[in-house]
Amino acid sequence: MQQYLELLRHVRARGVRKADRTGTGTLSVFGYQMRFDLAAGFPLITTKKLHVKSILYELLWFLRGDTNIAYLRDHGVSIWDEWADEQGELGPIYGRQWRSWAAPNGRTIDQISRSIDLIRRNPDSRRIIVSAWNVGELESMTLTPCHALFQFWVAEGKLSCQLYQRSADLFLGVPFNVASYALLTHLFAQQCDLAPGEFIWTGGDCHLYLNHLEQADEQLGRTPHAPPRLAIRRKPPSIFEYEYEDFEFLDYQAHPAIKAPIAV
């Protein structure tokens, strides 16, 4: 939590003015890292209330291999609406690449199942990677992947995960992304009978949109609460069988939500 506030402060103080695709304008720094020890609590931002439901359903939606917003809509989640076409499609984004990356000769590769398998069979492997950055398909995605690649690492009975996020909307996107990958690390750990280790977030272009500066300052003026804890109610037979009701954040104490416009 402190680390996130430090990142906001850093970009506020040292970020350079930079134009961007959306025409909004940003303050930006290139390259930054945050490390979260998952045993010390769940990295859910407390200086503003997060819409946890959106985070949970979005991750379950990725794991389904789904790229249509219908499932999110059915569960009252609207965070992907702006990027969908008339059929609700987003093109071959995260879900498709995670679960069915198109390989030569018509095969598809389930990177999630492969990673779980590799963690179980060969935990010392340095090749446990899931990539959403499928260069040949970038043009058919309505938004190119921001959280592009992640890697797992096993040591001393603990599973750690590092994400490379090439582009990071610090006010709106990053709190969601950190929570989502921290949760994913917990799920992988549970499925592989390991304890959760660290989640390491590495950012490329880390930016605050110019129309988020006041909101960021408001957040910087708040005192963080202790982080909540994650309870997972059961261990389903596979990583694809978790349900929304399986998760609960215990003692999530947070300051009120802060509204901000999303750059499309």
**208 assigned binding-site residue:** yes
Closest CA to 240 of 66, 42, 88, 81: 66
Q: Does 147 bind ligand LAUPNLSC (CB under 6 A)?
A: yes
- Looking at 162-170, 187-195, 225-233, 253-261, which segment touches ligand LAUPNLSC (CB under 6 A)? 162-170
**7 assigned binding-site residue:** no
Touching ligand LAUPNLSC, residues 198-237 (CB under 6 A): none
Neighbours of 36 (CB within 10 A): 25
Query: Do the Cβ atoms of 110 and 95 come closer than 8 Å?
Result: no
Residues forming contacts to ligand MHF in the complex (CB under 6 A) are: 51, 54, 78-80, 83, 143, 169, 172-173, 176, 257, 262-263
Q: Does 29 bind ligand LAUPNLSC (CB under 6 A)?
A: no
d(CA 213, CA 27): 9
Q: Which does 168 bind (CB under 5 to 8 A by kind): ligand LAUPNLSC, ligand MHF, none?
A: ligand LAUPNLSC
**147 assigned binding-site residue:** no
Q: Name the residue nearer to ligand MHF (CB basis): 159 or 178.
A: 178
Residue 192 appears among annotated catalytic residues = no
Q: Name the residue nearer to ligand MHF (CB basis): 50 or 118.
A: 50
d(CA 163, CA 153): 12
Q: Name the residue nearer to ligand MHF (CB basis): 131 or 144.
A: 144
CA distances to 151, 173, 228 from 92, in Å: 21, 20, 34
Give residue number: closest CB to ligand LAUPNLSC.
173
Touching ligand LAUPNLSC, residues 164-193 (CB under 6 A): 167-169, 173-174, 177
Position among 3, 100, 144, 151 found at the interface with ligand LAUPNLSC (CB under 6 A): 144
CA distances to 2, 29, 46 from 32, in Å: 14, 8, 21
Q: Which does 167 bind (CB under 5 to 8 A by kind): ligand LAUPNLSC, ligand MHF, none?
A: ligand LAUPNLSC
Q: Which does 262 bind (CB under 5 to 8 A by kind): ligand LAUPNLSC, ligand MHF, none?
A: ligand MHF
Give the residues lining the site for ligand LAUPNLSC (CB under 6 A).
21, 143-144, 146-147, 167-169, 173-174, 177, 263
| Binding site residue list | 21, 51, 126-127, 166-169, 177, 207-209, 263
Catalytic positions: 146
